[in-house]
Structure 1
Amino acid sequence: MKTFTNLALSAMAALASLAILPSASSAQSTMAYPEKCKSQGMDMSKADMSMNGMPTGEMTDYQKASMNGMKDMHMNMMQGMMKKDADVSFVCGMIAHHMGAISMSEVELEYGDNDEAKQMAKKVIEAQKKEIEEMSKWVDKEAK
Protein backbone atom coordinates (compact mmCIF):
# COMPACT_ATOMS: atom_id res chain seq x y z
CA MET A 1 0.00 0.00 0.00
CA LYS A 2 2.91 2.33 0.76
CA THR A 3 4.25 1.82 -2.78
CA PHE A 4 0.81 2.52 -4.24
CA THR A 5 0.49 5.71 -2.17
CA ASN A 6 3.95 6.83 -3.27
CA LEU A 7 2.99 6.15 -6.88
CA ALA A 8 -0.19 8.20 -6.50
CA LEU A 9 1.76 11.08 -4.96
CA SER A 10 4.32 10.91 -7.77
CA ALA A 11 1.50 11.02 -10.31
CA MET A 12 0.05 14.08 -8.56
CA ALA A 13 3.43 15.82 -8.73
CA ALA A 14 3.70 15.04 -12.44
CA LEU A 15 0.23 16.41 -13.03
CA ALA A 16 1.07 19.62 -11.25
CA SER A 17 3.41 20.39 -14.13
CA LEU A 18 0.56 20.01 -16.64
CA ALA A 19 -2.25 21.83 -14.89
CA ILE A 20 -3.53 25.32 -15.58
CA LEU A 21 -6.58 27.36 -14.64
CA PRO A 22 -9.94 25.53 -14.69
CA SER A 23 -11.81 25.35 -17.97
CA ALA A 24 -15.45 26.29 -18.22
CA SER A 25 -16.05 24.02 -21.20
CA SER A 26 -14.65 20.63 -20.20
CA ALA A 27 -16.38 17.26 -20.14
CA GLN A 28 -16.47 17.55 -16.36
CA SER A 29 -18.80 20.55 -16.67
CA THR A 30 -21.24 18.58 -18.86
CA MET A 31 -20.99 15.17 -17.18
CA ALA A 32 -20.45 14.63 -13.49
CA TYR A 33 -17.85 12.20 -12.21
CA PRO A 34 -19.77 9.69 -10.03
CA GLU A 35 -19.61 10.35 -6.29
CA LYS A 36 -18.95 6.66 -5.66
CA CYS A 37 -15.74 6.99 -7.69
CA LYS A 38 -14.35 9.71 -5.46
CA SER A 39 -12.05 8.60 -2.66
CA GLN A 40 -12.64 9.85 0.86
CA GLY A 41 -9.77 11.78 2.35
CA MET A 42 -8.38 12.66 -1.09
CA ASP A 43 -9.64 16.15 -1.92
CA MET A 44 -8.04 16.80 -5.29
CA SER A 45 -9.46 20.32 -5.46
CA LYS A 46 -6.87 21.39 -2.91
CA ALA A 47 -3.91 19.83 -4.75
CA ASP A 48 -1.22 22.25 -5.92
CA MET A 49 -1.84 22.52 -9.64
CA SER A 50 0.50 25.36 -10.56
CA MET A 51 2.33 25.26 -13.86
CA ASN A 52 5.70 25.16 -12.06
CA GLY A 53 7.12 27.96 -14.17
CA MET A 54 5.77 26.78 -17.54
CA PRO A 55 5.17 29.78 -19.83
CA THR A 56 1.38 29.57 -20.18
CA GLY A 57 1.36 32.96 -21.89
CA GLU A 58 3.00 31.30 -24.89
CA MET A 59 0.32 28.63 -25.19
CA THR A 60 -2.50 28.95 -27.69
CA ASP A 61 -6.09 28.91 -26.49
CA TYR A 62 -6.55 25.36 -27.76
CA GLN A 63 -3.43 24.21 -25.91
CA LYS A 64 -4.72 25.76 -22.68
CA ALA A 65 -8.13 24.12 -23.18
CA SER A 66 -6.47 20.75 -23.86
CA MET A 67 -4.32 21.06 -20.73
CA ASN A 68 -7.39 21.85 -18.63
CA GLY A 69 -9.10 18.70 -19.87
CA MET A 70 -6.02 16.61 -19.12
CA LYS A 71 -5.82 18.03 -15.59
CA ASP A 72 -9.46 17.23 -14.89
CA MET A 73 -9.15 13.72 -16.33
CA HIS A 74 -6.03 12.88 -14.35
CA MET A 75 -7.45 14.24 -11.10
CA ASN A 76 -10.51 12.02 -11.49
CA MET A 77 -8.46 9.00 -12.56
CA MET A 78 -6.36 9.34 -9.40
CA GLN A 79 -9.55 9.48 -7.34
CA GLY A 80 -10.79 6.27 -8.96
CA MET A 81 -7.53 4.37 -8.64
CA MET A 82 -7.59 4.86 -4.88
CA LYS A 83 -10.71 2.69 -4.56
CA LYS A 84 -10.10 -0.54 -2.62
CA ASP A 85 -12.05 -2.69 -5.11
CA ALA A 86 -10.08 -3.41 -8.31
CA ASP A 87 -13.22 -3.61 -10.46
CA VAL A 88 -14.59 -0.32 -9.17
CA SER A 89 -11.16 1.28 -9.55
CA PHE A 90 -10.97 0.13 -13.18
CA VAL A 91 -14.46 1.33 -14.11
CA CYS A 92 -14.01 4.67 -12.31
CA GLY A 93 -10.69 5.16 -14.10
CA MET A 94 -12.33 4.41 -17.43
CA ILE A 95 -15.12 6.90 -16.74
CA ALA A 96 -12.49 9.59 -16.11
CA HIS A 97 -10.58 8.48 -19.22
CA HIS A 98 -13.72 8.72 -21.36
CA MET A 99 -14.49 12.15 -19.89
CA GLY A 100 -11.00 13.17 -21.02
CA ALA A 101 -11.74 11.94 -24.54
CA ILE A 102 -14.91 14.02 -24.59
CA SER A 103 -13.00 17.06 -23.38
CA MET A 104 -10.38 16.61 -26.12
CA SER A 105 -13.15 16.25 -28.69
CA GLU A 106 -14.85 19.41 -27.44
CA VAL A 107 -11.56 21.28 -27.90
CA GLU A 108 -11.36 19.97 -31.48
CA LEU A 109 -14.91 21.12 -32.20
CA GLU A 110 -14.19 24.58 -30.80
CA TYR A 111 -10.76 25.19 -32.33
CA GLY A 112 -10.27 22.73 -35.20
CA ASP A 113 -10.76 23.54 -38.89
CA ASN A 114 -10.76 20.12 -40.50
CA ASP A 115 -14.25 18.75 -41.19
CA GLU A 116 -13.09 15.13 -41.06
CA ALA A 117 -11.42 15.65 -37.66
CA LYS A 118 -14.54 17.40 -36.38
CA GLN A 119 -16.68 14.44 -37.50
CA MET A 120 -14.36 12.09 -35.62
CA ALA A 121 -14.70 14.31 -32.54
CA LYS A 122 -18.50 14.16 -32.76
CA LYS A 123 -18.38 10.35 -33.00
CA VAL A 124 -16.07 10.17 -29.99
CA ILE A 125 -18.41 12.36 -27.93
CA GLU A 126 -21.46 10.27 -28.83
CA ALA A 127 -19.78 6.92 -28.14
CA GLN A 128 -18.01 7.98 -24.95
CA LYS A 129 -21.13 9.55 -23.41
CA LYS A 130 -23.03 6.32 -24.02
CA GLU A 131 -20.27 4.27 -22.37
CA ILE A 132 -19.99 6.70 -19.44
CA GLU A 133 -23.72 6.28 -18.82
CA GLU A 134 -23.36 2.48 -18.83
CA MET A 135 -20.33 2.52 -16.56
CA SER A 136 -21.91 5.04 -14.18
CA LYS A 137 -24.95 2.78 -13.80
CA TRP A 138 -22.61 -0.12 -13.03
CA VAL A 139 -20.78 1.94 -10.40
CA ASP A 140 -24.07 2.98 -8.79
CA LYS A 141 -25.10 -0.68 -8.58
CA GLU A 142 -21.78 -2.32 -7.65
CA ALA A 143 -19.69 0.20 -5.69
CA LYS A 144 -20.12 0.09 -1.94
Structure 2
Amino acid sequence: MHTSSQRGDYRISTDPQQLDLAAVHAYLAQSYWSPGIARERVERAAANSLCFGLFHGDQQVGFARVVTDKTTFAYLADVYILEAHRGQGLSKWLMAIILAHPDLQGLRRFMLATRDAHSLYAQFGFTALANPGRLMEMHRPSA
Protein backbone atom coordinates (compact mmCIF):
# COMPACT_ATOMS: atom_id res chain seq x y z
CA MET A 1 0.00 0.00 0.00
CA HIS A 2 1.51 3.30 -1.09
CA THR A 3 0.58 6.55 0.60
CA SER A 4 0.74 10.09 -0.67
CA SER A 5 0.24 13.47 0.97
CA GLN A 6 0.09 16.92 -0.60
CA ARG A 7 0.94 20.31 0.94
CA GLY A 8 0.94 23.23 -1.48
CA ASP A 9 3.46 22.49 -4.25
CA TYR A 10 5.03 19.69 -2.20
CA ARG A 11 4.13 16.02 -2.10
CA ILE A 12 5.34 13.05 -0.06
CA SER A 13 4.96 9.60 -1.56
CA THR A 14 5.90 6.07 -0.53
CA ASP A 15 5.58 4.76 -4.09
CA PRO A 16 9.05 3.39 -4.96
CA GLN A 17 8.34 3.93 -8.67
CA GLN A 18 8.34 7.69 -8.07
CA LEU A 19 11.74 7.83 -6.36
CA ASP A 20 14.60 9.50 -8.20
CA LEU A 21 17.36 7.23 -6.96
CA ALA A 22 19.96 9.15 -8.94
CA ALA A 23 19.06 12.25 -6.93
CA VAL A 24 19.02 10.30 -3.66
CA HIS A 25 22.41 8.80 -4.45
CA ALA A 26 23.85 12.21 -5.40
CA TYR A 27 22.85 13.59 -2.01
CA LEU A 28 23.83 10.60 0.11
CA ALA A 29 27.23 10.24 -1.56
CA GLN A 30 28.04 13.76 -0.30
CA SER A 31 26.45 13.40 3.15
CA TYR A 32 28.44 13.09 6.37
CA TRP A 33 26.92 9.67 7.14
CA SER A 34 27.55 7.89 3.84
CA PRO A 35 30.26 9.73 1.87
CA GLY A 36 31.08 8.02 -1.39
CA ILE A 37 28.38 5.37 -1.07
CA ALA A 38 27.93 3.37 -4.26
CA ARG A 39 24.71 3.84 -6.20
CA GLU A 40 24.07 0.08 -6.06
CA ARG A 41 24.04 0.22 -2.25
CA VAL A 42 21.56 3.11 -2.27
CA GLU A 43 19.31 1.19 -4.67
CA ARG A 44 19.49 -1.99 -2.58
CA ALA A 45 18.83 -0.11 0.65
CA ALA A 46 15.82 1.63 -0.90
CA ALA A 47 14.46 -1.63 -2.29
CA ASN A 48 14.54 -3.17 1.19
CA SER A 49 13.11 -0.21 3.11
CA LEU A 50 9.91 1.77 3.41
CA CYS A 51 10.92 4.95 1.55
CA PHE A 52 9.41 8.42 1.67
CA GLY A 53 10.16 10.71 -1.25
CA LEU A 54 9.54 14.45 -0.88
CA PHE A 55 8.82 16.18 -4.18
CA HIS A 56 8.43 19.76 -5.34
CA GLY A 57 6.57 19.31 -8.59
CA ASP A 58 8.47 16.51 -10.32
CA GLN A 59 11.79 17.22 -8.58
CA GLN A 60 12.79 15.07 -5.61
CA VAL A 61 13.92 17.47 -2.88
CA GLY A 62 13.93 15.19 0.16
CA PHE A 63 14.03 11.60 1.26
CA ALA A 64 13.83 9.31 4.26
CA ARG A 65 13.77 5.56 4.61
CA VAL A 66 12.65 3.28 7.39
CA VAL A 67 14.09 -0.19 7.92
CA THR A 68 11.37 -2.12 9.72
CA ASP A 69 9.66 -5.42 10.41
CA LYS A 70 6.39 -3.40 10.56
CA THR A 71 5.56 -5.03 13.88
CA THR A 72 8.05 -4.27 16.66
CA PHE A 73 11.03 -2.33 15.34
CA ALA A 74 12.00 0.47 12.97
CA TYR A 75 15.14 2.42 12.18
CA LEU A 76 14.94 5.81 10.49
CA ALA A 77 17.79 6.53 8.08
CA ASP A 78 19.00 8.77 5.26
CA VAL A 79 16.75 11.71 6.07
CA TYR A 80 17.44 14.88 4.11
CA ILE A 81 15.86 17.99 2.62
CA LEU A 82 17.78 19.85 -0.08
CA GLU A 83 19.21 23.14 1.17
CA ALA A 84 17.08 25.27 -1.20
CA HIS A 85 13.90 23.83 0.34
CA ARG A 86 14.80 24.08 4.02
CA GLY A 87 13.17 26.53 6.42
CA GLN A 88 9.62 25.75 5.30
CA GLY A 89 8.74 23.11 7.87
CA LEU A 90 9.22 20.29 5.39
CA SER A 91 11.31 18.15 7.74
CA LYS A 92 8.58 18.39 10.39
CA TRP A 93 5.95 17.51 7.82
CA LEU A 94 8.04 14.58 6.58
CA MET A 95 8.47 13.29 10.13
CA ALA A 96 4.74 13.61 10.84
CA ILE A 97 3.93 11.65 7.68
CA ILE A 98 6.47 8.95 8.54
CA LEU A 99 5.20 8.52 12.10
CA ALA A 100 1.57 8.39 10.91
CA HIS A 101 2.24 5.68 8.31
CA PRO A 102 -0.03 2.66 8.93
CA ASP A 103 2.88 0.18 8.79
CA LEU A 104 4.70 2.01 11.58
CA GLN A 105 2.01 1.94 14.25
CA GLY A 106 2.37 0.06 17.54
CA LEU A 107 6.13 -0.43 17.28
CA ARG A 108 8.01 -1.20 20.48
CA ARG A 109 11.17 0.58 19.36
CA PHE A 110 11.86 3.24 16.74
CA MET A 111 15.51 4.28 16.48
CA LEU A 112 17.69 6.69 14.56
CA ALA A 113 21.15 8.20 14.64
CA THR A 114 21.92 11.88 14.05
CA ARG A 115 24.82 14.22 14.43
CA ASP A 116 22.96 17.50 14.29
CA ALA A 117 19.15 17.16 14.23
CA HIS A 118 18.38 16.18 17.82
CA SER A 119 15.97 19.08 18.30
CA LEU A 120 13.91 18.06 15.25
CA TYR A 121 13.54 14.46 16.38
CA ALA A 122 12.90 15.40 20.02
CA GLN A 123 9.74 17.21 18.86
CA PHE A 124 8.42 13.81 17.80
CA GLY A 125 9.26 11.93 20.99
CA PHE A 126 12.75 10.65 20.23
CA THR A 127 15.09 10.76 23.22
CA ALA A 128 18.60 9.70 24.11
CA LEU A 129 18.87 5.97 24.75
CA ALA A 130 17.22 4.92 28.00
CA ASN A 131 19.66 2.03 28.45
CA PRO A 132 22.67 2.60 26.19
CA GLY A 133 24.55 -0.23 27.89
CA ARG A 134 22.15 -2.73 26.32
CA LEU A 135 22.93 -1.72 22.75
CA MET A 136 25.88 -2.88 20.76
CA GLU A 137 27.02 -2.23 17.23
CA MET A 138 29.33 -3.55 14.58
CA HIS A 139 30.53 -0.39 12.85
CA ARG A 140 32.18 -0.74 9.47
CA PRO A 141 32.44 2.76 7.96
CA SER A 142 34.46 1.57 4.98
CA ALA A 143 31.82 -0.96 3.87
Q: TM class, shorter-chain normalised?
A: under 0.3
Instruction: Report which of the two structures shows the higher radius of gyration computed on alpha carbons.
Output: 1
Question: Scaled by the length of structure 1, what TM-score is found?
Answer: 0.26
Higher strand share: 2
Question: Scaled by the length of structure 2, what TM-score is found?
Answer: 0.26
Q: Which structure is richer in relative contact order (CA contacts within 8 A, separation 6 or more)? A: 1
Higher helix share: 1
